[in-house]
Amino acid sequence: MRLLLITVALSLIFNESKVAGESCSVPEVNHGTIGKYTGHHNRFQEIRIGSKIDEKEELYLRCEYRYEVAGTPEKEEKILCNGGEWSSIPQCHPAESPYSPKHDTTSDKSPAETTILTPTRIPFNIPVSETSVSQNSESQSTLQPTCFCTYANFDKNLEAFVGTELLQNGSKVENGIAVKFFCQFFGHLRLQGPTEILCQECHWQTSKFPECAPPKTGETTVLINGDWKLLSGGTVAIEKGKTINIICEVKGVELIPQWINPGATNINVESYQDYYSGKNVSVLYILKIDIENTGKYQCFVPGNAPYNIYIEVITDGSTYNKKAESTSDELAAGRTGFLNTTENSAIETVQPPSIAVPSQTVSKDSKAALNVSNSFNSSCYCTYTNQDEAMVAFSGTDLLQYGSKVKNNSTVKFHCHQIRFARLKGLSEIKCQNCQWTSVEFPKCLQPQIVLCPRIPEMNGYSSMYTSDQNIGSVKFSTFCATCTDWVSLTTCGQAEVEGPIPMHRDITL
């Protein structure tokens, strides 16, 4: 009897714990995918159908390209696993005004004859034919077969566009339409593979999408300082009259980077070796940019692939100030790179104003907080408002710009871009905590005054050579005097003093 009671009690406890922690299974939704936001960049990651989801976990239903959540104009809806069941599973219906990258569709048919074509959730290489009948029509209207290619790529750094439309996983691309690719972290990651792929005869032209890879040894990286905007095709747009500089760097090779550019009269190039970082640097300056500066700019080390920049000079400001017509809120104006931000991104970027003013917004509980935004996802953010062009700031692997919104409890790391031996003054890390920065000010990059060692006078018959620079390093000596002997061939210098022995020469003929 006692054994029976123990067995029943254990069974009840087991069943109660099972119910309390019962998981949900990811369902299939026509024209939609279910996933969650992950990583520092808060990217949407699709979850496979049938996967088990823990109790109380929140996921999102995302509708496919040209579809939206039924009853709303939104493309996403939050869903919750509760007691082994989903709170609700909304449906994805065709959008009222679907985007057509090809052209605007018009029809001279009457309402009774109008036929609607919608893509179905099938593999991208199978043609689809659908028909629909108007309520006032007594006979079925048949359309010519049409098909789509499905965009399916999980490289979080790769951006794909049809026109200005940013594609998401599962997006359907019409037959005959080309998709253009470029990489996040402009100036650093390089596109490996084709820059454009066509959906042709219901198949992609290639079996593999391009990838974004970090630079190899000998390959350059670039950083654009100034006011600029990255267009959806990867072109850098700059307003006429602006002044910018493009810093091109390489590490691990002895050669200085070289430039190929349109050769306008307002372009100057300055090169140097940064002995602190071990990088070779070439800076291209464009003063008061004009229409003649439109074109292709290449920075490279001989024998290695160049980094290509396409600059378009905007004369009327319309393209530069125009909000992108895409699923992205906007393509950010550049200061130290770019971020293509979406509504649910971890970092939101705004175009910098002409004067840096710390922003102040009001959080949900109506308490004022410095540099806080509650623009999305019901949580607060700290705003990065630093305009020091020598400063580079990262949240995880995300490169920040002026106006970037940083998630609460995230840490931002700073370092200087080594322009003319810049040094960081202040904290190297600052955290966004309780919706505020843990420091009242950002660090700065200082250009210290370089104190040179005294130049050693060159006596007759020999010369000296600084192996690094006059501010640090060693000094080697060579002789061209056949009658000279007893010389010191090497000494050192640093902190404005000669630290090694002073070279001495003696002429044996004396």
In whole angstroms, give the CA distance from residue 63 to residue 72.
12
Q: Which of 360, 422, 413, 417 is nearest to 385 (CA)?
A: 360
In the chain, what's the furthest Cα-to-Cα distance?
A: 120
The 8-class DSSP code of residue 113 comes to G
Q: Dihedral of CA 353/394/277/219: which sign? A: negative
The string of pLDDT tens digits covering residues 267-288 is 989 888 877 677 889 999 999 8
* Statement: residue 333 has pLDDT above 50: no
Say if CB 202 and CB 127 are below 8 A apart.
yes
For residue range 348-407, what is the model confidence (pLDDT) as tens digits? 333 333 222 233 333 333 332 233 333 333 368 888 887 777 788 888 777 788 778 888
DSSP string of 127-167? -B------TT-SSPPPPPPB-EEE-----TTEEEEETTEE-
SS3 at position 325: coil
Least confident of 131-135, 200-204, 462-466: 131-135
Position 136 scores a pLDDT of: 40
Question: What's the pLDDT at 496?
Answer: 55
pLDDT tens readout for residues 79-107: 888 888 887 777 888 876 433 344 333 33
Asked if residue 352 lies in contact with residue 171, where contact means CB atoms within 8 angstroms, the answer is no
Q: At 98, list the tokens.
A: 């679907």
At residue 289, the pLDDT reads: 92
Specify the range with the lowest mean pLDDT, choosing from 136-140, 179-183, 203-207, 318-322: 136-140
Stronger pLDDT, 327 or 240, i.e. the higher one: 240
What the block records as the tokens of 407 is: 């998630």
Confidence at residue 500, expressed as pLDDT on a 0 to 100 scale:
62
With a cut of 50, say whether residue 335 has pLDDT above it: no
CA 307 to chain centre: 16
Let me know: does 442 contact 468? Beta carbons within 8 Å: no
d(CA 183, CA 161): 11
Q: Tokens 């399916």 — which residue?
A: 152
Q: Which of 78-82, 185-189, 364-368, 484-488 has the highest mean pLDDT?
A: 78-82
Distances (CA, A) of 11 to 17, 19, 397, 444, 498: 10, 12, 49, 64, 84
Q: What is the 3-state secondary structure (H, E, C) of 450-466?
A: CCCCCCCCCCCCEEEEE
